Amino acid sequence: MTRIAFLGTGLMGAPMARRLLGAGHHVTVWNRSPEKAQVLAQAGAVPAADPAQAVAGAEVVFTMLADGAAVADVLFARGVADAMSRDAVLVDTSSIAPAQARDHAAALAARGIAAVDCPVSGGVPGAENGTLALMAGGDAAVIARIADVMAPLGRLTHVGPTGAGQVCKLANQQIVAITIGAVAEAMMLVSSGGADRAKFRDAIRGGFAESRILELHGGRMIARDFQPGGPSRFQLKDLNAVADLAAGAGLTLPLTETVRAGFSDFVASGHGDTDHSGLLLHLEAMNAAHPEARTTDD
């Protein structure tokens, strides 16, 4: 049994914490909205009143927070870094900019604390089922040390030095966003041609267009169920970070820029908390003069 602190028990953090509890670990939890942490008490977690209290005595500290600013606030402004044991490991599963991850790791290293940036992919279903893709950046020995703790969450891969986990997550988010856009456009093309979207999706399953995006988000588009698993504002945050990283490297990424512009407009129109598969709604609005491109099932 490992003593774990889990900071941030929202859409992703709560099921991840439950997986760790199910594996027999002692888990203390904290969340900015206390009721989200209190719910986990039913599963055996110990809610803490503040994040510094949560990490006292923890061997591994997880953060799953909204962005880099939130991570920095919890670690350094709210006392977590000072309250952590010097032999503990911080595992930041939040999606933040690679430069922020490196800055946080350096500040923690100055205090004698090891840090791993380990963003995840797989959404809420992956968090619930323990099938997340875990992209770890940091020291190989530290990552090997926490491998057993990470096992209930999904498949852990050491992708490179500090910050590399976040780079890989951004690349993952590129693929997710572009593929969501491609599936959404295909759905509209199918409808405009008189075919049934659900049957189209069934027909191409197992072919070269098969993907988790087609399976999960294509299903959401057909059901028109856009309650957030992955809010569009977070998708846009990641695409903005991709743009910054690409600019720094002198890269031109035209597909990414196109889909980023779409998500920017979608979020600006009031859909920041709509699931990112809801990009379909934005594309349908762009084609409002062609109602046949919407859906044959409405």
> Residues 146-200: pLDDT tens digits?
999 999 999 999 999 999 999 999 999 999 999 999 999 999 999 999 999 999 9
What does the alpha-carbon distance between residue 258 and residue 248 come to, in Å, rounded to a whole number?
19
Q: Would you say residue 286 lies in a domain?
A: yes
Q: How many domains does the chain have?
A: 2
Tokens representing 137? 């950046």
* 298 is a domain residue: no
Decide if pLDDT at 297 tops 60. no
Range of the domain at 97: 3-161
| Domain termination site, one of 144, 161, 178 | 161
If pLDDT is split at 50, 70 and 90, which confidence band does 294 have?
confident
Residue 199 appears among annotated catalytic residues: no
Strands (E), 78-169: 89-92, 114-117, 120-121, 132-137, 154-160
Residues 153 and 212 in one domain: no
- Judge if 120 and 145 occupy the same domain: yes
pLDDT for position 144: 98
Domain boundary, last residue among 161, 185, 205: 161
Residues 25 and 65 in one domain: yes
Does residue 94 surpass a pLDDT of 80?
yes
**Closest Cα partner for 235 from 152, 157, 174?**
174
Res 198: pLDDT: 98
23 and 147 within one domain: yes
With both helix axes pointing from N to C terminus, report the angle between 232-249 and 164-192 in degrees, rounded to the nearest 10.
120
Q: What residues pair up with 181 in beta bridges, in sequence order? A: none
Q: Do 26 and 92 fall into the same domain?
A: yes
CATH of the domain at 75: 3.40.50.720
Are 35 and 157 in a shared domain? yes
pLDDT at 295: 60
194 in a domain, yes or no? yes
Residue 197 lies in a domain: yes
pTM: 0.91
Same domain, yes or no, for 69 and 91?
yes
CATH number at residue 282: 1.10.1040.10
Same domain? For 143 and 9 the reply is yes
* Domain end point (choices 111, 145, 161): 161
Looking at the structure, do residues 179 and 144 belong to the same domain, yes or no?
Answer: no
The answer to whether residues 102 and 147 belong to one domain is yes
Amino acid at 44: G
Task: Assess if residue 140 is contained within a domain.
Answer: yes
Residue 105 sits in the same domain as residue 253: no
pLDDT category at 250 given cuts 50, 70, 90 is: very high
Is 14:30 a contact under the CB 8 Å cutoff?
no
Q: Span 268-284, mean pLDDT?
A: 98
Whether 124 has a pLDDT exceeding 60, the answer reads: yes
For residues 131 and 65, state if they share a domain: yes
CB 146 within 8 A of CB 3: no
Say yes or no to pLDDT of 298 above 50. Answer: no
